[in-house]
Amino acid sequence: MKALTARRHHRFAPVVLLTLALALTGAVYAAFTPTQATAAAAPTETDIEMGQALFRANCATCHGTGAAGREGVAPSLVGVGAAAVDFQVSTGRMPMMANGVQAPAKPPVFTEEQVQQLAGYVASLGAGPAIPSADAVDAAKGDAGNGMALFRTNCAMCHGAVGQGGSLSGGKYAPNLLGVDGTTVYEAMITGPQSMPVFNDATVTPEEKRDIIAYLAAQEQGSPGGAALGSIGPVVEGLWAWVIGIGLLIVAAVWIGAKSS
């Protein structure tokens, strides 16, 4: 029995288990990760025309037929670049469903192709940040450690220490960044949508942006201590400890003190 047990827990057992676990994790990850869209080819004349048609039908009510914006209604889109359009439209923030303090993310209205056409049209109006290449947002090439230092300084005050989001003033909020793909994070930094300030390539270099994306990707593996309880902060997690933990202790004390029937 002893020998059998010893053989069963052979010194290669952890290696085999680990290999199997890694292979399984990799396979699941590969199966669920959408293939990265290849960097958009330069929009053709027809793309821009299609984009203009889409713009006139869906966006011009607020942004004006020439995308010059309307005072007090919607900003000018001349010079915002393709990155801003891709961020706003592919996350469903635009077109806005209703007026409010903040345009929330929702299922996108347009297909990937239509977003590219719109982005091509808006980019043709004036130079602005372009959609980043797949290489620029590849988390595997970033340094998550440096990303953490940058995230802590530039992002954590609004988005929380691990990117779970947080509230701002007047009902506005910084959205949760976990599960958001790298391209969207990059575009948000470079365009500064809504309340968010701009982090251009001089203030946060493209390499540093990739580091931040790598840090966020590392957070998606979850918390090393088990259930993260939302990672919103010590108040929420403390509340759990007090209410659930002390509640359980009270139940145990009552059970110990109660007479058996």
Partner 1 sequence: MSNEKPGTDVSSASEGNLLPERFDDPGLPEHKARLTDTDPRAAKRAELQVVILFGISIVGTILAVVAYAVIRPGETVESIRTSTLVLGVGLAMAMGGIGLAAVHWAKTLMNDHEKVEYRHPQASNAAERAGALAALKDGAEDSGIGRRGLLKGAVVSALALAPLGFAVPLIGGVGGDWNVSKFRHTLWAKGTRLTHDPSGRLLKASDVTIGSAVHVIPDGLRDHEEWIEEKAKAVVLVVRLDPRDLVEAEGRTDWSYEGIVAYSKICTHVGCPVALYEQQTHHLLCPCHQSTFDMADGAKVVFGPAKRPLPQLPITVDDEGYLVAQSDFLEPIGPSYWERLK
Residues 6+ apart with CB under 8 A from 83: 119, 128, 129, 130, 131, 132, 186, 187, 190, 191
Determine if 76 is a binding residue for partner 1 (CB under 8 A). no
Closest CA to 116 of 46, 33, 188: 46
Determine if 28 is a binding residue for partner 1 (CB under 8 A). no
Instruction: Give the DSSP per-residue string, 229-246.
Output: GGG--HHHHHHHIIIIIH
* CA–CA gap between residue 211 and residue 122 (Å, rounded): 29
Determine if 200 is a binding residue for partner 1 (CB under 8 A). yes
Determine if 171 is a binding residue for partner 1 (CB under 8 A). no
Q: Which of 157, 244, 246, 249 binds partner 1 (CB under 8 A)?
A: 157
Q: Which stretch binds partner 1 (CB under 8 A): 7-15, 65-73, 76-84, 135-143?
A: 7-15
Determine if 172 is a binding residue for partner 1 (CB under 8 A). yes
Specify the residue, 105 or 168, whose C-beta has the smaller distance to partner 1.
Answer: 168
Beta-bridge partner residues of 167: 173
Q: Which stretch binds partner 1 (CB under 8 A): 13-21, 26-34, 61-69, 234-242?
A: 13-21
* CA–CA gap between residue 153 and residue 188 (Å, rounded): 17
Determine if 199 is a binding residue for partner 1 (CB under 8 A). yes
Closest CA to 126 of 41, 69, 70, 73: 69
Determine if 13 is a binding residue for partner 1 (CB under 8 A). yes
Determine if 195 is a binding residue for partner 1 (CB under 8 A). yes
**Cβ–Cβ < 8 Å for 100, 114:** no
* CA–CA gap between residue 200 and residue 208 (Å, rounded): 11
Q: Locate 121 and state its tokens.
A: 């049209």
Determine if 245 is a binding residue for partner 1 (CB under 8 A). no
Specify the residue, 179 or 226, whose C-beta has the smaller distance to partner 1.
Answer: 226
Binding residues among 93-152 for partner 1 as defined by CB under 8 A:
149-150
- Give the nearest distance from C-beta 190 to partner 1 in angstroms: 10
Give the single-character DSSP code of 50. H
List interacting residues with partner 1 (CB under 8 A).
Answer: 9, 13-14, 17-18, 25, 149-150, 153-154, 157-158, 166, 168-169, 172, 174, 192, 194-200, 202-203, 208, 218, 221-226, 255-256, 259-261
